[in-house]
């Protein structure tokens, strides 16, 4: 057994497949590139949830169902938002999910996050929550609820791309947590709460914010090459590079990079990030020859979310808003097996005595 359970098959799934060597990802048989281009966020929800949350699911129906879910979530804000005063966005998001009743539907759970995260952001700014517009697609309404006004189409398109590519990526720690909890017969709401608690760790969904902080530090250093060499010589990790699931490159990173570039070539932040990526890859080759580390989605996710007006400390809750559809799909798939997950361990302690 390898540390980190690398290579251990813990579930059979119809939901996604990745080819690590080819750097490819499919969502229920559809390449992630095509999903982002043709399906959009609600279309991917319909694809993932088909047969689990209904039959014959379609994008238009998911838009309407999620719009109604956001309205119900807004009506419940007073049940938890006041208690989140002074909490970080991550802590407040845990309260948002913990307040969900056990009979919450998948649309209720997604709606709680899609309304709760913007409400948390606005509360931090001393502003009241923005009521949802149920007629809008999720990403357009999410940005409108954050800023209080309609978002530019290019920002909506960028966030929709992010919501697609970040929605599902196989059996990561948070998804495994969702499946384990669901396998015991616990509710979908409990499963997503467990997944979110695993997701908050800086090695998992908590990485986009620190990735942007790293870029800031590099830019402030005045000598990026020397800064990179010092960091790597000290054995420190470059956030945003390397992914155990995609050692030869993350296809989602390419999609997010393209989405960020479409927001404008005059973006000085983006120009620096592109230059930083090239310098970081060269430094990795100098300092760690033979060890291939490709960019993952974290830096471009952070740049995209920043451009959309999402505060840095709300990056992980925003990430969770879209990853929740994957958690729910896995939880529903696990429940359908009727089997509780119960692995075993290998004892390596002191010699056993009589």
- What is the three-state SS of the chain? CCHHHCCCCCCCCCCEEEECCCCEEEECCEEHHHHHHHHHHHHHHHHHHCCCCCCCCCHHHHHHHHHHHHHHHHHCHHHCHHHHCCCCHHHHHHHHHHCCCCCCCHHHHHHHHHHHHHHHHHHHCCCCCCCCCCCCCHHHHHHHHHHCCCCCHHHHHHHHHHHHHCCCCCCCHHHHHHHHHHHCCCCHHHHHHHHHHHHCCCCCCCCHHHHHHHHHHHHHHCCHHHHHHHHHHCCCCCCCECCCCCCCCCHHHHHHHHHHHCCCCCCHHHHHHHHHHHHHHHHHHHHCCCCCCCECCHHHHHHHHHHCCCCHHHHHHHHHHHHHHHHHHHHHHHHHHCCCCCCCCCCCCCCCCC
Q: What is the pLDDT of residue 207?
A: 66
pLDDT at 266 over 80: no
CATH of domain 208-306: 1.10.230.10
Label residue 247 by pLDDT band (50, 70, 90). Answer: low
**Rounded mean pLDDT, 232-252:** 78
Q: What is the pLDDT of residue 254?
A: 86
Q: What is the number of other CB atoms lying within 10 angstroms of the CB of residue 282?
A: 12
Label residue 157 by pLDDT band (50, 70, 90). Answer: very high
Name which residue leads in pLDDT, 21 or 349: 349
Q: What is the pLDDT of residue 244?
A: 66
**Rounded mean pLDDT, 171-183:** 96
pLDDT at 249 over 80: no
Dist CA 196 CA 92 (whole Å): 12
CATH of domain 27-201+313-337: 1.10.580.10
**Rounded mean pLDDT, 157-186:** 95
Domain coordinates in residue numbering, the chain: 27-201+313-337, 208-306
Q: What is the number of other CB atoms lying within 10 angstroms of the CB of residue 264?
A: 10
pTM of the model as a whole: 0.90
Label residue 286 by pLDDT band (50, 70, 90). Answer: confident
**27-201+313-337 against 208-306: fold identical:** no
Q: What is the pLDDT of residue 122?
A: 97
Among 17-31, 65-79, 96-110, the range scoring the smallest mean pLDDT is 17-31
Torsions phi, psi for 333 (to 5 deg): -65, -40
Label residue 297 by pLDDT band (50, 70, 90). Answer: confident
Using a 10 angstrom Cβ sphere, with 0-12 exposed, 13-18 middle and 19 or more buried, the burial of residue 206 is middle
């Amino acid at each position: 057994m390898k540390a980190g359970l690398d290579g251990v098959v813990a579930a059979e799934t119809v939901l996604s497949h990745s080819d690590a060597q080819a750097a490819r990802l499919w969502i229920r048989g559809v390449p992630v590139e095509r999903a982002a281009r043709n399906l959009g966020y609600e279309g991917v929800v319909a694809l993932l949830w088909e047969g689990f949350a209904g039959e014959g699911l379609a994008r238009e129906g998911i838009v309407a169902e999620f719009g109604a879910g956001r309205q119900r979530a807004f009506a419940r804000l007073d049940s938890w938002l006041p208690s989140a005063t002074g909490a970080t966005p991550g802590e407040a998001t845990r309260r948002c999910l913990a307040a969900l009743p056990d009979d919450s539907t998948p649309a209720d759970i997604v709606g709680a996050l899609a309304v709760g995260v913007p409400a948390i952001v606005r509360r931090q700014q001393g502003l009241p929550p923005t009521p949802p517009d149920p007629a809008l697609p999720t990403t357009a309404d999410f940005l409108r609820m954050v800023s209080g006004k309609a978002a530019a189409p290019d920002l909506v398109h960028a966030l929709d791309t992010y919501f697609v590519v970040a929605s599902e990526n196989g059996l990561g720690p948070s998804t495994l947590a969702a499946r384990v909890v669901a396998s015991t017969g616990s509710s979908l709401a409990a499963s997503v709460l467990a997944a979110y608690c695993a997701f908050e760790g800086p090695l998992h969904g908590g990485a986009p914010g620190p990735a942007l902080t790293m870029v800031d530090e590099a830019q402030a250093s005045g000598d990026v090459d020397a800064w990179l060499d010092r960091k790597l010589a000290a054995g420190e990790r470059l956030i945003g590079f390397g992914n155990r699931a995609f050692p030869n490159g993350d296809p989602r990173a390419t999609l997010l990079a393209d989405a960020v570039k479409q927001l404008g070539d005059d973006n000085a932040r983006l120009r620096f990030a592109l230059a930083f990526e090239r310098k970081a890859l060269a430094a990795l080759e100098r300092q760690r020859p033979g060890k291939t580390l490709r960019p993952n989605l974290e830096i471009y996710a952070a740049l995209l979310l920043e451009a959309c007006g999402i505060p840095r400390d709300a990056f992980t809750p925003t990430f969770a808003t879209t990853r929740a559809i994957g958690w729910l799909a896995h939880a529903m798939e696990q429940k359908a097996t009727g089997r509780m997950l119960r692995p075993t361990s290998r004892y390596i302690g002191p010699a056993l005595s009589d």
